[in-house]
């Protein structure tokens, strides 16, 4: 296929697919096969203005639709998503590279947000108190606010956008999604599918693009709030710009997650879970473990088991049977990951398993990096501090739980962390003291489900209200308080 006949994606605005205004396009390729898939336009401020105008026009009628009827659209949406489940999962694997099982799991997690948002009549209820003073009653109601937007990353093309728009529209707002320009096909297909759920035009819109489109959303006076997920540097930019323009903002950033293994842990079970955490989705997860902090004599047996498990992973194209780890998302990202391997060597860490030269015979041009393991990583080293976002794991050894908690406390990130132990007391101590927001106890991926809040602390999160859970309702609505005397 040549680029001249390749499909150029369109924006979805006011219920119609429209061409973006003339602008640059990026070519989207399959990271395993490098087959070109489509071209994505880098929309301009004009396109954003058009989408905001459509969303704004749709708001008054949509907010007047009773919550119970809005919920019926979401029930319908859930059904159509189930009908297209396999097809969308395949698109995720083709454009992002994760294995089909991982794609299915992530889409399932996304759909759970639609299921949760179906409860909007209950989730959105306010509260009342009679006689706040003699003969005066007080109540508050949750009201939608207008046009919200989300800007999302490449690593979960379906799930992360679905942390946001189902709640925002269920609550009566209208919405603009700006998906990652690296994986725009999934969002495109999901919105096509969502049309089958009969959402009125303008309620859900998609604008493709990169920085220009994002900055236009951040500055637009008719956008009331922004949900963002991506790297910390961009999260901070989004937080600052959105705040400067008077908007609500929740900005979820990057991560550097530590996994603590105590000597009393069930090491065989721990290693399965930790391997999945380190190398699942080729390490491109904000919840991925990155540094394994072993205490005392857990070190040598755990390191050996981990090496064995890492060597057993089967690298390849995520749609091929038996593959347990796919490529990273792009050639550029592969270069970045490899530069971290080099930095680890330069800083004096010991490279126990080197995935740099790993090839997949059938796909010689794919962006594959084999599982890579460093030993002797210290917190001040580049690979001990910075997010790598690839299948590069570090093992380190400390004296005890106190020192492990200290290592975690020195990180500039605070997204997720896990502990493996059979001691309830140690687990309790860990969860009580550690300054990280999502904690796993004998679980490698501490992923809150749709009905709990999701987000970190420190450099991993900018804002107050987190993604999904009850926080979503708080974020996407105003609490209007009414006091009455008759
Ligand atoms: P990214 O920050 O490069 O891009 C995210 C989004 O921001 C994209 O839609 C992109 O178009 C836009 N963007 C990029 N640069 C911009 C700029 N200068 N100005 C305005 N907008 C810009 O992130 P990515 O590489 O797509 O995703 C990986 C990152 O996302 C990792 O750091 C990962 O930890 C993070 N992430 C975090 C969570 C979480 O829950 N905290 C979840 C998933 C991913």
DSSP secondary structure letters along 62-85: HHTS-HHHHHHHHHHHHHHHHHTH
In this structure, the dihedral spanned by the alpha carbons of residues 207, 333, 100 and 118, taken in order and rounded to 10 degrees, is -40
In the DSSP assignment, the letter for residue 325 is B
Q: pTM for this structure? A: 0.97
- What is the C-alpha to C-alpha distance for residues 284 and 252, in angstroms, rounded to an integer? 15
CA dist list (Å): 348 to 67, 326, 381, 382: 59, 28, 9, 11
Structure tokens at 187: 């969002």
Q: What angle do CA 256, 102, 198 make, to 5 degrees?
A: 110
Distance 459 CA to ligand 1 centre (A): 13
Q: Hey, whose CA ends up nearest to atom 19 of ligand 1?
A: 211
pLDDT of 4 higher than 80: no
pLDDT at 414: 98
pLDDT at residue 310 is higher than 60: yes
CB 48 within 8 A of CB 216: yes
pLDDT in tens, 376-435: 999 999 999 999 999 999 999 999 999 999 999 999 999 999 999 999 999 999 999 999
For residue 235, give the ligand 1 atom closest to its CA: 2
Could you tell me the distance, in angstroms and rounded to a whole number, from the CA of residue 301 to the centre of ligand 1? 36
Residue 186 burial (10 A CB sphere; 0-12, 13-18, 19+): buried
User: 153 CA to middle of ligand 1, Å?
Assistant: 4
Spatial separation of the C-alpha atoms in residues 190 and 169, rounded to whole Å: 15
Instruction: Give yes or no for residue 252 CB within 6 A of ligand 1.
Output: yes
pLDDT value of residue 234: 98
67-125, pLDDT tens digit by residue? 999 999 999 999 999 999 999 999 999 999 999 999 999 999 999 999 999 999 999 99
Q: Residue 178 CA: which ligand 1 atom is closest?
A: 9
CB 283 within 8 A of CB 275: no
295 within 8 A of 328, measured Cβ to Cβ: no
Mean pLDDT, residues 230-236 taken together: 98
Query: Whose alpha carbon is nearest atom 22 of ligand 1?
Result: 211
- For residue 253, how far is its CA from the centre of ligand 1 (angstroms)? 7
Q: Is the CB of 230 under 6 A from ligand 1?
A: yes
Q: Where in the chain is the domain with CATH 3.40.605.10?
A: 11-253+460-485
The reply to whether 286 belongs to the active site is yes
Which atom, in ligand 1's list, is nearest to the CA of 456?
41
Tens digits of per-residue pLDDT, 21-43? Answer: 987 999 999 999 999 999 999 99
Q: What pLDDT score was predicted for residue 373?
A: 98
| Residue 263 in tokens | 């000597």
pLDDT tens digits, 173-230:
999 999 999 999 999 999 999 999 999 999 999 999 999 999 999 999 999 999 999 9
The segment(s) of the chain belonging to CATH 3.40.309.10 are 257-441
CATH code for the part of the protein at 257-441:
3.40.309.10
For ligand 1, the distance from its centroid to the CA atom of residue 254, given in whole angstroms, is 8
Measured from the CB, is residue 239 less than 6 Å from ligand 1? no
Tokens 């898939």 appear where? 37
Per-residue tokens: 390:
């690839």
What average pLDDT score do residues 358-387 get? 97
Record the tokens describing residue 241, joined without a space.
Answer: 């710009």
**Options 25, 118, 281, 286, the catalytic residue:** 286
Ligand 1 atom nearest to 181, measured from its CA: 11
Q: Tokens representing 246?
A: 């008077």
CATH superfamily label, 11-253+460-485: Aldehyde Dehydrogenase; Chain A, domain 1 (3.40.605.10)
Question: What is the tens place of the pLDDT at every residue in 245-301?
Answer: 999 999 999 999 999 999 999 999 999 999 999 999 999 999 999 999 999 999 999
Q: Is the pLDDT of residue 344 over 80?
A: yes
Question: Which residue's CA is the closest to the ligand 1 atom numbered 33?
Answer: 254
Task: Report which protein residue has its CA nearest ligand 1's atom 34.
Answer: 254
**The pLDDT of residue 328 is above 70:** yes
In the block, tokens 């909007």 appear at 120
pLDDT at residue 18 tops 90: yes
Mean pLDDT of the 449-453 span: 98
State whether the beta carbon of 227 lies less than 6 angstroms from ligand 1.
Answer: no
Give burial (CB, 10 Å; 0-12/13-18/19+) of 399. exposed
User: Which of 231, 251, 455 is the best mutation target for the ligand 1 pocket, counting ligand atoms within 8 Å of the beta carbon and taking the most?
Assistant: 231
**What separation in Å is there between the alpha carbon of 396 and the centre of ligand 1?**
28
pLDDT at 2 (0 to 100): 43
State if residue 237 touches ligand 1 by the CB under 6 angstroms criterion. Answer: yes
pLDDT of res. 1: 43
């Amino acid at each position: 296929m040549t680029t001249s006949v390749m499909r150029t994606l369109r924006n979805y605005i006011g219920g119609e697919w429209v061409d973006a205004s003339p602008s640059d396009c990026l070519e989207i390729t399959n990271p395993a096969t490098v087959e070109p898939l489509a071209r994505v336009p880098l929309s301009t401020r004009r396109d954003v203005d058009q989408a905001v105008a459509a969303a704004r026009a749709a708001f008054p009628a949509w907010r007047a639709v009773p919550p119970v009827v809005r919920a019926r659209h979401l029930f319908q949406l859930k059904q159509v998503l189930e009908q297209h489940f396999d097809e969308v999962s395949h698109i995720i694997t083709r454009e992002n590279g994760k294995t089909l099982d991982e794609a299915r799991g992530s889409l399932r997690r996304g759909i759970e947000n639609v299921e949760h948002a179906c409860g909007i009549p209950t989730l959105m209820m306010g509260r009342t108190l009679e006689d706040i003073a003699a003969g005066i009653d007080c109540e508050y109601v949750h009201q939608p606010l207008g046009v919200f937007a989300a800007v999302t990353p490449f690593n979960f093309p379906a799930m992360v956008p679905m942390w946001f728009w189902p709640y925002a529209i269920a609550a009566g707002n209208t919405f603009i999604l700006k998906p990652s320009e690296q994986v725009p096909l999934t969002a495109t297909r999901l919105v096509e599918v969502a049309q089958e759920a009969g959402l009125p035009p303008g309620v859900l819109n998609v604008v493709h693009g990169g920085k220009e489109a994002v900055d236009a959303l951040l500055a637009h006076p008719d956008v009331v709030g922004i949900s963002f997920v991506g790297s910390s540097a961009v999260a901070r930019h989004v937080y600052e710009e959105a705040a400067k323009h008077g908007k609500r903002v929740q900005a979820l950033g990057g991560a550097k997650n530590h996994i603590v293994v105590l000597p009393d842990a069930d090491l065989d079970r721990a290693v399965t879970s930790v391997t999945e955490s380190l190398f699942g989705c080729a390490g491109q997860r904000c919840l991925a473990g990155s540094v394994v902090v072993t205490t005392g004599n857990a070190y040598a047996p755990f390191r050996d088991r981990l090496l064995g498990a890492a060597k057993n992973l089967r690298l390849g194209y995520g749609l091929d049977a038996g593959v347990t780890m796919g490529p990273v998302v792009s050639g550029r990202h592969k270069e970045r990951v490899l530069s971290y391997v080099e930095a680890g060597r330069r800083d004096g860490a010991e490279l126990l398993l080197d995935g740099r030269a790993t090839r997949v015979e059938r796909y010689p041009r794919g962006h594959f990096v084999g599982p890579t393991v460093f030993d002797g990583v210290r917190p001040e080293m580049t690979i001990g501090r910075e997010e790598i976002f690839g299948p590069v794991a570090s093992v380190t050894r400390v004296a005890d739980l106190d020192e492990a908690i200290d290592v975690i406390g020195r990180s500039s990130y605070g997204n997720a962390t896990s502990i493996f132990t059979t001691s309830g007391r140690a687990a309790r101590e860990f969860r009580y003291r550690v300054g990280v927001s999502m904690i796993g106890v004998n679980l490698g991926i501490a992923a809150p489900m749709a009905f709990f809040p999701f987000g970190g602390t420190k450099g991993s999160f900018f804002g107050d209200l987190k993604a999904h859970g009850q926080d979503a309702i708080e974020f996407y609505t105003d609490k209007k308080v009414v006091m009455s005397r008759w």
